[in-house]
Amino acid sequence: FDADKRPIKIFNHDELKKAPVSLPSLESGKLYHLQGTLYYCEDSPDSPCLIKSIETSFTATPNGLVTLPVDLK
């Protein structure tokens, strides 16, 4: 088991319904990898639900603020 590749946060459904979500403190300058799958539905009757996989890397900043937009198109 590689300790550097263990999850630092796993979000449950209720957390993801709120925006934005927060991560625990990250080490400044360290490269992190964000990976996940979103399941979402349009807000109209009989609309299909969709699945979107997300995978991106980012480097933590000294102030700890990182914004990662998610394109659901």
pLDDT given at position 39: 80
pLDDT given at position 71: 67
pLDDT tens-digit readout, 14-59: 887 777 777 778 888 888 888 888 788 888 888 888 888 888 888 8
Contact criterion met (CB below 8 Å) for 52 and 72: yes
Q: Which of 14, 23, 19, 53 is nearest to 35 (CA)?
A: 53
Contact criterion met (CB below 8 Å) for 64 and 24: no
